[in-house]
Amino acid sequence: MLSARPAPSGMMQVVLSSEAGGTMIHEAVGHGLEADHIHDGTSIYKDKIGKMVASELITVIDDPTIQNKRGSFDFDDEGVPARKKVLIEKGILKNYMYDVLTAMKTGTISNGSGRRESYRYRPVPRMSNTLIAPGDSDPGTIIRSVEHGLFVKKMGGGEVNTLTGDFVFQVIEGYIIEKGALGEMVRGATIAGNGPEILKTIDMVGRDLGYGIGTCGKDGQGVPVSDAQPTLRIPEIIVGGYA
């Protein structure tokens, strides 16, 4: 990083590596599908069940039943059996993540998403192992399809507004793509956009899948989670760096 040149800025094509670990899907999409945000009207995904909210290439799953992942469990913290939840299927919003309380408020049943840090806290709807399902494209082909852009190998922290879907994330490790080949490393890059709009524009999804682990903070409590994504091509997104 000491020898990396400052990142360029502006609108450009971006390839997110599977090694980025799903930070974007967790922050820019996942929190907006937690039922307390839906019930409170603080999510852009409110009242959009059955509507197209992403590219038809995108399927988003939250699955605590995946074995040996950081967000895995057999029962949630309200005793509801864990289950796989397809949240977005081929671009169409199918489901939210409910705990017992939000399920009662909306006339449905909990789907095993009630989680808490410890007995000192009340359960709230939370993610577990959240991922974008792999697609059909070869990751190398995705990179070679880009004439000029940015390859994001590893993502850092960021911020998201669940009401609008707007986000900004740091790029910990990124490389310029020139004529379909990875070029020099750059530093100081960020990517910014609107989660629902970016999901609608993704036009290539790799057949790989990479996991990241973390502790998700919400309502002053943290729970263990995993996030995953394949290699993704975003045709146009704002890259912040040095002009």
> What are the tens digits of pLDDT across the range 186-207?
999 999 999 889 999 999 999 9
- Angle CA(161)–CA(166)–CA(171) in degrees, nearest 5? 105
The token pair at 140 is 């190398």
Q: How confident is the model at residue 50 (pLDDT cuts 50, 70, 90)?
A: very high
pLDDT tens digits for range 205-223? 999 999 999 999 999 999 9
CB atoms within 10 A of CB 91: 18
In angstroms, the CA 109 to CA 104 distance is: 7
Calpha distance 21→24 (Å, rounded):
8
Other residues' Cβ atoms within 10 Å of the Cβ of residue 119: 7
- What is the C-alpha to C-alpha distance for residues 5 and 14, in angstroms, rounded to an integer? 18
Let me know how many helices (H) and strands (E) the chain has, helices first: 5, 16
Residue 243 above 60 pLDDT? no
Contact of 35 with 113, CB cutoff 8 Å = yes
Cα 16-63-107 angle, rounded to 5 deg: 120
Q: What is the pLDDT of residue 72?
A: 98
Give me the number of domains the chain comprises. Answer: 1
Residue 24 belongs to what H/E stretch? helix 23-24
Q: Shortest CA distance to 8 belongs to which of 156, 168, 185, 144?
A: 185
The DSSP result for 133-167, as a single string, is PP-SB-HHHHHHT-SEEEEEEEEEEEEE-TTT-EE
What integer best gives the mean pLDDT of the chain?
A: 94
**Could you tell me if 212 and 67 are in contact, meaning their C-beta atoms sit under 8 angstroms apart?**
no
Q: In this predicted model, which residue has the larger pLDDT, 159 or 29?
A: 29
The overall pTM is greater than 0.85: yes
Give the pLDDT band (50/70/90) at residue 84.
very high
Q: Give the pLDDT band (50/70/90) at residue 83.
A: very high
Look at residue 242 in the predicted model and tell me its pLDDT: 65
Full residue range of the structural domain in which residue 27 is found: 5-240
The pLDDT score that the predictor gives to residue 157 is 79
Q: Are 90 and 202 in contact (CB under 8 A)?
A: no
